[in-house]
Structure 1
Amino acid sequence: MGRDDELTLVRRALGGYGSQAGVVIVGAAGVGKTRLAREALAAAAAAGDRTTWIVGTESARALPLGAFTALIDEHMSGELPNVRRLIDSLVPRPGERGSVLAVDDAHLLDGLSAHVVHQLAQSTGVGLVVTARAGESGPDAVTALWKDGLLARLDLQPLSCAATLALVETALGGPVDSRSARRFWSLTGGNPLYLLQLVKDQVSAGRIRREAGMWVWDGDVAVSQSITDMVGRSLGQLTPGLALVVDVLSQCEPLSVAVLGDLADRGDLEAAERARLIVFERTGGTLVARLAHPLYGELRRATAGEMYLSGLRGRLARRLALDDDDDMHLTVRRAALTLESDIAPDPQLYLRAARVAMTLLDPRTADRFIAAAVDCGATEAVPMRAMSMVLLGRGERADEMLRALCAAGTDAHHWATVRAANLIWMLGRPRDAEPILEELARSEESGAQQAARAAVDACLDAVLGRSRGAEEKACTALASGQLADFHAMMASVALVMALGAGGRVDEMNAVVVRAVARAVASYQSSHLRFWLGAVYVRACRLAGRVDECERSARDLAASARDVPGPAYANLTYLTGQAELARGAVSDAVRHLREALAGVEKTSVTTGLRTACGIALAEAHAKLGQPDEARAVLAEARECIPADYVFMKTNLSLAAGWTLAAGGSVTEAITVVRGAAADARSRRQPAYELACLQALVQWGDFSVAPRAGQLADELPPLLADVVARHAVALRDGDGPGLLAVAADYRANGDRVCAADAAAQAGVAFARSGQRKRGLYAAAVARELAAECGGLCTPALRNPAGQPLTDRQREIVEFVVAGLSNREIAARLVMSVRSVEGHLYRACQRVGATSRDELAAVIRAGPPGGR
């Protein structure tokens, strides 16, 4: 229920019989007072106390001792019941452990019932749990309970956003994406009663659905009669003037008092504030009005007539048109109101608002405006619609429209380059873009056209793994100073990919800063900055710049936490990548799942689905979840474009980690050695280093010479640490491996630090340094816990009794669930040989059976247990 801390406070208060014999829980309606009181009463009953529950009600308030009616027997009855006998009946009898009385809605008690509760608060052995609604006046005896210090007072606050997420996930029986949870929290104010009803309403109406195993709420708000009765029963009984105030704000809030006062009577504004329907606040010196509860607007929109609301939107749109049109948000609001009003369509307003909506990271709203402009016959809306399809990631539809624009002849060169970019990125068909760019190169081009083509050509090279060509073309295009915003973003993405593959992070920083600064104010590339951010974060991770990785993700997330559509999927993906880099692996799984759900929800055709699957497979594998890793890896393999060479190394690494998680460490090493060789042949040292790093983590120190060479070629930090890691592992150098673990940890990479520490534990054990081995193992376990339950091959190697490489390999297959016969087939040896290796492995770790051996390996190094 999200109230564990509060329940603990209540139970402690009940334990303090005497000076304070319980607690008064005060809070707004629906905040969870009653449920918390019932939980506390149930805990008291389970502990052996006698428990009693009474409720104050309006109907019983007129009766003396009305709340205690059910407890009064014939011996207490009469014209005025015997109060003393009633009190005595609630005090513990001899031999009883204690007595706890819960009083719900104590502000509704009659005076005599309140007196009884007040007397019981002064009695020995009686614990009290009392609830009262905040802001309501009640009997003086109830107020005195906390004012006189007889009971502790607990002001029950609405649920936090995190507690809201937990409660919604409990109600739905599965994970919910963060944006949906924030929306539930925002609409209900963290009120548990409203929250659970709102969840039920969205499920019943089909507004919230599962995508990629994640509940996603991305539609309108469904409003039931139940939530109406809970939140806004009085909204149906408003005077016409008050209804107008609420209805105007339901269409557009916040509104300045100047605007609202032109549409509604000022006396009604004051009356609405007194009735707690609206609130006023000052923003930048301007007095603005908001609805007092977010659900008021939803309830009024659901019940008011469409003709009435259409006219109201028209009045509001006309009034907003009188104000300063430089306000971007105002432009979007006015266009949205006009679009759904009774006034004449305004295609120029729709187009202007579409550009603004794109800049403000809302391409879906922008597309609505563009479609409306097209319906009005605005010819300039057609190319904007094509661009909108590209930015929304709807590649097939975009290609159809871009073909038509190229055939029309007007600015055909520009639209041909956009079409090529769409083929490369949105449809995953870079080879189909190649002939388009070649044909443009053969035509007569201006300097600006050459630069635009070079920008997209750079993307083609970057995708095909031709980093040097991508860098040269992107630099040429950017240096021209003649690129449109979209093409400048294309060139920047290609350049960051090329520099990242070479490990040249310092050179990337300036490129990213310039690109983001330009994109923020551009409708063509505003939301593409999250895509650029994801490319940059991955490049930082390749170079071991974990702090920069995390900072970039945090800054981008802060700039647009609730952006809709594809931009949000890109944002959560880059957040997951940053968490994976710093070793917050369980957190990374959640965000990558959210990103994948976002991709499925928006039906984008970009490579983001594949990228999410690759990263998610790696994360699951590092948590020791091979089945989950295999499932998402298979999906990624199915959808990866054949010519996306730039994704192949990451795919191989994810495949390697998945194999290693399933016990096939030797096979994992073979796969990733091949990927390292491919990266070397493409002259992509950062990708090659990533492969070597994984190999060393899996115990392959044969890469030490090549790692040393890369340490001389690449910038310092990661390459040097990987080289020393390989050498220390080869030499069985426990102190050297611990030093490497410390360096990884200082760089922010807790996964590699954990593996190096675990390997140090084995090295110490092999050299007879048992205490140092246990210390290293304890460090490894601590780091694994920080990562959210890391379970890598290195961490599964017991430090106290090291296994041989062959024993290690066979035991990994046992952990993965393979039979002896299946292991023998995998390793091309006899079943008897497998049994012999397992027997000796059991002796080394002190296990008495095959299952116990697997359990010891799963538990990891013993130093932390």
Structure 2
Amino acid sequence: MEPILWPLVGRDEECAAIAAALDADPARSVVIAGPAGVGRTRLLREALTMARHRGRPTRAAAASPAAAAVPLGALAPLLPTIEAATPDPLPLLQLAAQAIAGDRTGPAPVLGVDDAQFLDPLSVTLLHQVAATGGVTLVLAVRTQPHRVDPSSQLWKDELATRLDVAPLGRDDANRLVAAVLEGDVDSRTCQRLWRLSEGHPQYLRELLEDGLRSGRLHRHRALWRWEGAVVPSPRLVEIVLAQLGDLEPEEWRAMEVLATAEPTSVHEVAEFSSFEAVASLQRRGLVVDADTDRDGEVRAAHPLFTEVVRRRAPEAVLRTIRQGLAVRAAAGSPEEWVRRGALMLDDALPSPDAAVLATAALRAAGRQEFPLAERLARAGIAAGGGAQAHLALVEAAWWQGQTARSAELAHQAVLVADSDEDRARLASIEVLVLFSGQGRADDAAAALRAATATITSPDGRAVLAATEAVLAFLGGDPAEAVRLGSSVLASAPTGLAEPLAAAATAAGLAVTGRTGRALSTVRAGWAALEALPAGRELTFVRVALAQAEVLSLHLGGRVEELERRTAELYRRNLVSPEWAGDAIACLHRGWAALAAGRPRVALRWLQEALSGLEEQDPAGFLPLCTALTATAHGQVGDLEAARSLVEGETATATATATVFQPFARLAEAWLAAAEGRRSDAGARALDAAGIAADQGQPAVEAVLLASALQFGRAREVVERAERLAGRLDSSLVEAVAQWARAGVRSSGDELDRVSHRLHEIGVLMSAAGAAAEAAAAHERMGNRHAAVLSRSRAETLTRACGLVHVIGPDDRLPPGLTSREEQVAQLAARGLSNQDIADELVVSVRTVEAHLAHVYAKLGITGRTDLGGALSSSGPRHRSARAQGRPDGRSARRAGLHSV
């Protein structure tokens, strides 16, 4: 039995070209060309399947180096037995051509040949002849290699074949392929690791996944596939890569060992350990390529697996010798160069390591979020006398590896060795922030801040402490004080760390108090100030805080589309760094954006990953917020047990420093009540959540939470507050919430319809669906059945776009809407199709069509077909399905087929 194939992902253009070649008159042959591992064989099999679906007989063969030693060796299984050999190849060619082409009485056969680069000359001649005569359509898979001539080139040069150059999959397509094969979502770092080693080569992905499943390192965790431990090539994959490397001369192998030790590396450094001729030979064979860096003359291996395999095969003594030699020669300029030079010194414990180099490298590594390496470098730097810089790096590394108590203690001790107010202020700031956000010790944080303020006298140092105090004010639920303190710091034109830290606190305070424009401009200034800091002088917390402030500003300002785009961008940037605690925060922000847009199922994909990460490490105190948002999403999709578990757990574990996020925790309770069917209690708790935000001086948060109260039918309690807030806040979302409340109090179906459209434009789909459902109920009460059904249809369409089944609206007493089949029939009738045409289109009887139309007329309150166009157009376009949007919507493959690409 033929093994189950992996799904084809990211190959739409190639499949379309193959289909066009097969459908041409006459059909054209196809050459599928590409490097090893990109899926040429998979496309070849797909082409043969497409040919069979078109009624074409198919045959298949595979070439190999062994078969190439025999004339027509690869095609021998397709040829008749020849009893007597003849020195004249012409009769042999004629017999072979006749055998392959058949008797020409039916459709021309399609012959697929895999690894056609290994065909012997006689086979190439034969295939060229049968393609030229049109007796056979060829589909050849050819591995491209820089040092080999393509034997199929004459076919496409003579325009007898269409050549398709197949490249590795792009990152998004590779991720989609992995998710389709595993039949589930895959966590971010697993995707990143698989991408780093495979670079989109399906063959490599297959081997990695198969080994991960077999070993158990790849498994499900919180509904996500996750790889535990290092992703390393299996023995089988090692053999595949070694075969692709081929037979290397000793100097060529030594050059690969240098690159396996540290890449990218200059050609001169590689040549010092091998030779220029060896490097040139590797480049000609496509095994080494120019590195994409700002420095000329640097090279790297053509694929990460090459160096991974070479490193695992090379003796440690050899690698150690190379590291020692590179450590002496390594330059130091960019952060990457500093880190590499420090790491080379660290690995080999040189007799007299350079303390300044180690300390600087440690700071640069921390700035690149390489915290385990930063800690090793910092410890070596401290031992070598690296001073305050090494201590700063060690404190940062401990913090973001989740060792908050140790980080606070190290920061406190390091103040004693710091020799400048700037360093003392930075260390004190870290201690305060770790105590407050990492450990929930608000009183101890305040005491540490007071102690530092009493000893640090320089303007820049005091500015850092004032900015730190602004952060504490915001997190503690006093955004007005955060804005006052932060604005004062910014007005003093500080230098160094104080400016971006103050900008983060100020922007967050401006966001929750509804001054969106100012908040976003402050965020932009903060990012610019952070990027302008000298390498290694930034603070990771500032980067996290600025991202949080930007998320708040975009959400509360009603800029939902921009919020989704920006959180996706921040997430992609985060993946450039090695795995660290910020991964969970990046996923939290993506989940927050999806939840704000009203897509709770999408939000859960990200929030569950964030929750898993924050439960392991929560250096910045985001776990209570993540728990609340995840519980809210579970409540919205009706996952009662998961929502209850999280709400009860969040209540038990909430820390005193989570004050600013308390309104979101109460909102989670509201959605739990809704999931339990306690609609009145849900509305009351949503109002309580808005009240908490109001008491904390967060009017923008208050207004957004009032939208949830409207979802539960609390327009009369909301309207005055919403209108008052809309008059003073800079937010299109708050304006729309006020309009929704006003229209709900008036029970105006037309106004509610307009509000639904406005909420949809802003991008909050669930609120738009709720307003449409309320409009349907209002129209029904007024006896306007036609408008009621259209509003309900819109509510259902928007609900499906949210990924939900049931409409969540203020009123459950909604008029019956059109079923999907009724709407389908109605749309076809509105286009002018007759009942018979509709029946033929849908493969149903005319009587069934008539029955559906009768139901449509009754539900819409119209008399016949002439009114259908206007009635249906009012409901607006339906959202595309998941399949139409290119998202996987089914079980495309089974893990039983992992062995076949």
1:720 alignment partner AA: E
For 1:433, give the aligned amino acid.
A
* Cα 1:671–1:303 shift into 2, 3 Å: same
Which of the residues 515, 519, 524 maps onto 1:508? 519
Residue 191 of structure 2 aligns with which residue? 181
Please give the secondary structure, in 1, of the residue aligned with 2:23.
Answer: coil
- Contact 1:175 / 1:215 at 8 angstroms: preserved in 2? yes
Match for residue 332 of structure 1? 339
8 Å CA contact 1:161–1:182 kept in 2: the answer is no
Letter in 1 for 2:771: A
Contact map agreement 1:585 1:619 (CA 8 A) in 2: yes
Name whichever of 362-371 and 46-55 sits farther off. 46-55
State whether residues 79 and 99 of structure 2, in contact with CA within 8 Å, keep that contact through their aligned partners in structure 1.
no
1:480 CA drift (Å): 5.5
How far apart are residue 585 of structure 1 and its match? 4.9
Question: 2:663 is matched with which residue?
Answer: 649
**Paired residues for 1:128-147 under 5 Å:** 128-135=138-145, 142-147=152-157
Shift of 1:725: 0.5
Aligned to 2:827: none
Which runs of structure 2 are paired with 1:162-561 in the superposition (5 Å)? Answer: 162-201=172-211, 212-216=222-226, 220-233=230-243, 237-280=247-290, 286-321=296-331, 325-341=332-348, 343-344=350-351, 345-376=353-384, 378=386, 380=388, 381-382=390-391, 384-402=393-411, 404=413, 418-437=430-449, 446=457, 454-479=466-491, 485=497, 491-520=502-531, 521=533, 523-526=537-540, 528-546=542-560, 549-550=563-564, 552-553=566-567, 556-557=570-571, 560-561=574-575
User: Given residue 169 of structure 2, which amino acid in structure 1 is its aligned partner?
Assistant: L
Give deviations 1:651-702, integer Å, cap 9, x for gaps.
Answer: 2223323443454332211211222222233332222212211111233212
The count of residues paired between Structure 1 and Structure 2 equals 803
Indicate yes or no: 2:64 matched with 1:52.
Answer: no
C-alpha distance in structure 2 between counterparts of 1:373 and 1:440, whole Å: 26
Please give the alpha-carbon distance, in whole angstroms, between the structure 2 residues aligned to 1:752 and 1:673: 16
Assess, with a 3 A threshold, how the Cα gap between structure 1 residues 19 and 212 changes in structure 2: closer, same or farther. same
User: What is the rounded CA distance, in whole Å, between the counterparts of 2:429 and 2:173 in structure 1?
Assistant: 48
For residues 763-774 of structure 1, the aligned pairs below 5 Å read 763-774=778-789
Distance 1:416 1:49 in 2: 76
State whether residues 757 and 780 of structure 1, in contact with CA within 8 Å, keep that contact through their aligned partners in structure 2: yes
Query: 2 CA distance for matches of 1:798 and 1:145?
Result: 69
Structure 2 counterpart of 1:741, from 738, 752, 756: 756
Q: Deviations over 1:77-126 (max 9, x none)?
A: 44368766665565678997885433222333345544554455467786
Aligned equivalents of 1:800 and 1:440: distance in 2? Answer: 66
Alignment of 1:574-613 (within 5 A): 574-583=589-598, 585-600=600-615, 603-613=617-627
For residue 74 of structure 2, give the secondary structure of its aligned residue in structure 1. Answer: helix
Counterpart in 2 of 1:757?
772
CA distance in 1: counterparts of 2:156 and 2:732, whole angstroms:
60
Q: Is the 8 A contact 2:769 2:807 kept in 1?
A: no
Q: 1:426 offset after TM fit, Å? A: 0.7
Q: Secondary structure at the match of 1:67?
A: coil
State the AA in 2 paired with 1:335: G
The partner residue of 2:117 within 89, 107, 111 is 107
| Partner Cα distance (2:244, 2:594) in 1 | 47
Correspondence for 2:896: none
Kindly state the Cα deviation for residue 313 of structure 1 after the two structures are TM-superposed: 1.3
Q: 1:772 to 1:740 in 2, by over 3 A?
A: same
Residue 351 of structure 1 and its aligned partner are, at CA, apart by 0.6
Whole-Å separation in 1 of the counterparts to 2:878 and 2:161: 44
Displacement of 1:647 in angstroms is 1.3
What residue is the counterpart of 2:8 in the other structure?
2
Aligned-pair distance for 1:793? 0.7
- Residue range with higher mean Cα deviation, 219-228 or 431-440: 431-440
- For residue 23 of structure 1, the aligned residue among 20, 30, 39 is 30
Give the residue type in structure 2 aligned to 1:374.
I
Measure the CA separation in 2 of the matches of 1:113 and 1:637: 74
Aligned amino acid, residue 351 of structure 1: A
Which residues of structure 1 form unaligned runs of 5+?
A: 803-843, 847-860
| Distance change in 2, residues 1:435/1:375 (3 Å) | closer
Give the Cα–Cα distance (whole angstroms) in 2 for the partners of residues 138 and 261 of structure 1. 29
- Alignment CA distance shift 1:379-1:139 (3 Å): closer
Equivalence for 1:805: none
Q: Deviation at 1:465? A: 2.0
More displaced stretch, 715-724 vs 410-419: 410-419
SS state at 1:644 partner: helix
1:417-447 per-residue CA deviation (whole Å, 9 max, x = no partner) reads 5433212111123244345556778x67747
How far the C-alpha of 1:216 sits from its partner, in A, is: 4.5
| Contact persistence 1:778–1:863 (CA under 8 A) | no
> Which residue type is aligned with residue 687 of structure 2?
R
1:14 and 1:552 map into 2 onto residues whose CA distance is: 42
SS at match of 1:713: coil
Matching residue within 32, 47, 69 for 2:39: 32
Quickly say closer, same or farther: Cα 1:733–1:104, change in 2 above 3 A. Answer: same
SS in 1 for 2:59: strand
CA contact (8 A) 1:201 1:222 kept: no
Equivalents in 2 of 1:174, 1:45: separation in Å? 31
Please give the secondary structure, in 1, of the residue aligned with 2:739.
helix
Deviations 1:111-165 (A, max 9, x none): 554455445546778654332223486796x545444444433332222212211
Higher mean C-alpha displacement, 768-777 vs 563-572: 768-777
Partner in structure 1 of residue 863 of structure 2: none
Q: Contact (CA 8 Å) 2:30, 2:163: kept in 1 or not?
A: yes
Q: Is the 8 A contact 1:311 1:342 kept in 2?
A: no
Aligned-residue identity in percent: 30
Question: In the alignment, which residue of structure 1 is the partner of 2:724?
Answer: 709
Q: Specify the alignment match of 1:660 in structure 2.
A: 674
Contact 1:649 1:679 in 2 (8 A): yes
Counterpart position of 2:898: none
Partner of 1:700: 714
What is the alpha-carbon distance in structure 2 between the residues aligned to residue 596 and residue 691 of structure 1? 22
| Matched letter for residue 198 of structure 1 | L
Q: 1:488/1:9 Cα in 2 relative to 1: closer, same or farther (>3 Å)?
A: closer
**How far is 1:576 from its partner?**
3.2
What does 1:634-645 align with in structure 2 at a 5 Å threshold? 636-645=650-659
AA in 1 matched with 2:394: R
Kindly report which structure 2 residues correspond to 1:715-864, keeping only aligned pairs within 5 A, or say none: 715=730, 717-788=732-803, 792-794=807-809, 800-801=815-816
1:105–1:501 CA distance, 2 compared to 1 (3 A): closer
- Tell me by how many angstroms 1:512 deviates: 2.4
CA distance in 1 between partners of 2:877 and 2:676 (Å): 24
TM-score normalised by length of structure 1: 0.81
Instruction: Output the CA distance in 1 between the equivalents of 2:8 and 2:607.
Output: 25
In structure 2, the CA distance between the partners of 1:374 and 1:56, relative to structure 1 (3 Å rule), is same
Distance in 2 of aligned mates of 1:111 and 1:741: 70
* More displaced 10-residue stretch of structure 1: 701-710 or 400-409: 400-409
Counterpart Cα distance in 1 of 2:618 and 2:439:
9
- 1:520-545 CA-to-partner distances (Å, cap 9, x unmatched) read 32534145313321233124312323
Counterpart of 2:479, as a letter, is S
Contact residue 20 and residue 152 of structure 1 kept, 8 A: no
